[in-house]
Chains A and B, each alone.
Chain A
Amino acid sequence: MDYFLQQLINGLTLGGIYALIALGYTMVYGIIQLINFAHGEFFAAGGYMGVILLSYLAASGAGPYVCLAGALILTMGYCAVLAMAVEKVAYKPLRHSSRLSVLISALGMSIFLQNGLMLTQGVYDKAYPTQMTQGSFQVAGLYISYMQVIIVAVTGILLVALNALVFKTRIGKAMRASAQDKIMSGLVGIDSDRIISLTFAIGAGLAAAAGIMVGFYYGSVHYGMGFVPGIKAFAAAVLGGIGNVTGAMIGGALIGIIEVFAAGYLSSEYKDVFAFVILIAVLYFRPTGIMGENVDDTRV
C-alpha cells in the first residue's frame, strides 16, 4: 500500500510536468488546428535557459528560493518571446496555406531549434544544481522530497492560473471566441493575430517551466530532451481531448501516473512505451479523447 501511494505521488509529480507541456499543444491546436511539432523545443530551451539563469543568480548570492523563482519567471518570459518569434517567422506567413505546409514548417522549426541548442550549448548533458532543493521529509511512511513539493506547487499554481486566465478573464474569453470562429471574433473586434501570438507565448511559457522542473527531477538537461517528453505530452493532450484545456491537465496526470506505475510494477525498461500505446489506443478507439466532443464546456 505504501509503495502504491509512493508511486502515485511520483506519478502525479511527473504528470504535472506533462500537463504543463500538453497545454501548449492543446491550446495551439485549439486556436489554429496545428500540431506544433516544435513545441517540445520550447521545453528544452526552457531547461537550458533555466540552468544558465540559476547559475547566474546563485553567483549573485541570492537565496535558493529567490534564485528558483527568478529563473522560473525569466525563463518563462524568454520562451514566450521565442515562441512568438517562431510563430511569426514559421507559421504566420502560412496562415492561409494548407495544413500540411504548416506542419512541415513546424517540423523544420523543431530541427532548427534543436540544432541551435546543440550548437550553442554543446552535445553533453548539463547538470542541474539539485543541491538547491535537496532533502526530504516523511509523512505517514511516505518519502516526499522538497523538490517534489516544489514541482507540485509550481505546477499547481500554473495550472490554476491558466485555468483562471482562460475561463475567467476578458482575454481568455477572446481566446475561446477566436478558437471557435476566427472571422466572427474579428468582426467583434478581436485581433486574432494577437490572440494566436499570445497563445503560443502562454504555451511556451508553461513548457519552459516544465523544462526547469524536469531539470531538477532528472538532475540534468540535454539538447535533445524535447523529443520524448514532447511526444508523451502530445499523447496526454490527445488522451484528454485535443483542444481541451482541462483535458490536457487530466491527460498529463494520467500519462505520468501510468508511466510511473508501469515502471514500478512492470519494467522500467518499457516505461516510455506506455505513452505511445495509450496514444495509439486513444486514436483508434476514441479519437476525441476523454473530454472530447460530448464534454464541450471546457474546450477553448
Chain B
Amino acid sequence: MEPVLELKNVSAGYGRIQVLRDISLKAFPGEIVCMIGANGAGKSTTLMTICNVVTAARGDILYRGNRINGIKFSKLPPMGLCQVPEGRRIFPRLTVQENLELGAFFRKDSTRIQEDLDMVFDFFPILRERANQKGGTLSGGEQQMLAIGRALMSRPRVLLLDEPSLGLAPLLVGQIFNKITEINRQEGTTILLVEQNANVALKVSRRGYVLETGTVVMEDDVKNLLQNPDIRKAYLGE
C-alpha cells in the first residue's frame, strides 16, 4: 500500500538552529501512527514542518503522492491535511460554535457543514452545552475537545495531533484517546499522533517512531516497541 503521507530525509530548523535531521516517516491510509520523544526532541517541529509553517531545508514531504514542500499552509485543510497543534490554540475570543465553524472555513457545502456540526456536538456533548461560550473560558480538557472537534469540521483525510494528552488528568486522557480511536475507526481518518505520554500513544497506535534530538532512532510496530527494553526504560518509566 502507498503511504498517504511520507517524509523523506527531511531536515528543518529555526533560522540557523537545526532541529530536525534526516527525518523519514510514513503514514499509511487508515492507520494511527505515533511519534514519541522527550521534551525538545523535535516532535512539534516535525508536524509544523509537514504543514510548512516551518520550512523544510532539505528533503521531500509527500502527501498522497505529491510533493507539498513550500505550499502555503492555508491551502492544506482543503486538501484534507489538518493539524491540531500543541496547546490546542483555540480562538479564545470566539465562541465554541464559531471555533467549530472556522474548522469548516474553506467548505461551501453548508448543509453538510451543519450535519458535521451536529456530529461533533454528538461526539463531544459538552461542546453543545458550551456552544455560545467564549473558547477561552473552557477548561483544558474541553479546549482539547474543541480543538479536535474544530479539526473534524474540515473532514480531514490525515489528522496530525500534537500532544492531545498535555495537561489533562489521566481519566480525561483515556476519554480523549477513546475518541481518537473512534474517529480513526468510524471515519477511516489517518492519524499521526505526537506524544510524550508513550504509554497511551503506543496503546492506540499500530506503528510508532521514536525521536531523539531531531532524529528518528527507531521505528516499528507498537507491539515490538512495547517489548523493547530500551523503550521500556526510557519512555515507559520502568
Contact = CB atoms under 8 A, between A and B. Distances in A.
Interface of A: 170, 173-174, 176-177, 180-181, 183-192, 296-297, 299
Interface of B: 51, 53, 72-78, 82-83, 85, 89, 91-94, 98, 101-103, 105-106, 134, 136, 150, 154
8 contacts: A170-B101, A173-B98, A173-B101, A180-B94, A186-B74, A190-B102, A296-B134, A297-B134
A262 B85 CA distance: 53
B82 A170 contact: no
A147 B150 CA distance: 49
A188 B92 CA distance: 15
A190 B105 contact: yes
Contacts of B134: 296-297
A189 B91 contact: no
**Dominant secondary structure of chain B at its interface with chain A:** mixed
Contact of B53 (A173, A174, A186, A189): A186
Given A186-B53, A191-B72, A296-B134, A177 B102 contact: yes
Contacts of A176: 91, 93-94
Contacts, number: 70
A98 to B, nearest CB: 14
Nearest to A176: B94
**Dominant secondary structure of chain A at its interface with chain B:** helix
Most chain A C-beta atoms within 10 Å of own C-beta, residue among B51, B74, B94 = B74
B93 A188 contact: no
A43 B115 CA distance: 45
Contact of A181 (B89, B98, B106): B89
A200 B78 CA distance: 26
A189 B105 contact: yes
Contacts of B136: 296
Contacts of A174: 102, 105
A173 B102 contact: yes
Contacts of A180: 91-94
Nearest to A171: B105
A256 to B, nearest CB: 28
Contact of B103 (A188, A191, A296, A299): A188
A189 B134 CA distance: 21
Contacts of A191: 72, 74
B85 A184 contact: yes
Given A187-B83, A189-B76, 17 more contacts: A173-B102, A176-B94, A177-B91, A177-B102, A180-B91, A180-B92, A183-B85, A184-B89, A184-B91, A186-B74, A187-B77, A187-B82, A187-B89, A189-B74, A189-B77, A189-B78, A299-B93
A192 B102 CA distance: 14
A289 to B, nearest CB: 16
Nearest to B51: A187
Nearest to B153: A188
B91 A192 contact: no
Contacts of B102: 173-174, 177, 185, 188, 190
A189 B155 CA distance: 13
Contacts of B76: 187, 189
A236 to B, nearest CB: 22
A141 B27 CA distance: 78
B83 to A, nearest CB: 5
A178 B94 CA distance: 11
Nearest to B90: A184
A296 B74 CA distance: 27
Contacts of A183: 53, 85, 89
Most chain B C-beta atoms within 10 Å of own C-beta, residue among A170, A177, A299 = A177
Contacts of B82: 187
Nearest to B77: A189
A177 B102 CA distance: 8
B94 A188 contact: no
B105 A188 contact: yes
B93 A297 contact: yes
A169 to B, nearest CB: 11
A-B pairs, top 10 by smallest CB distance, nearest first, are A189-B106, A189-B77, A184-B89, A186-B74, A191-B74, A189-B105, A180-B91, A186-B73, A177-B91, A188-B102
A245 to B, nearest CB: 12
A187 B93 contact: no
A14 to B, nearest CB: 31
A296 B93 contact: yes
A254 B13 CA distance: 49
Contacts of A189: 74-78, 105-106, 154
A247 to B, nearest CB: 14
A51 B150 CA distance: 49
Contacts of B77: 187-189
B74 A177 contact: no
A184 B98 CA distance: 14
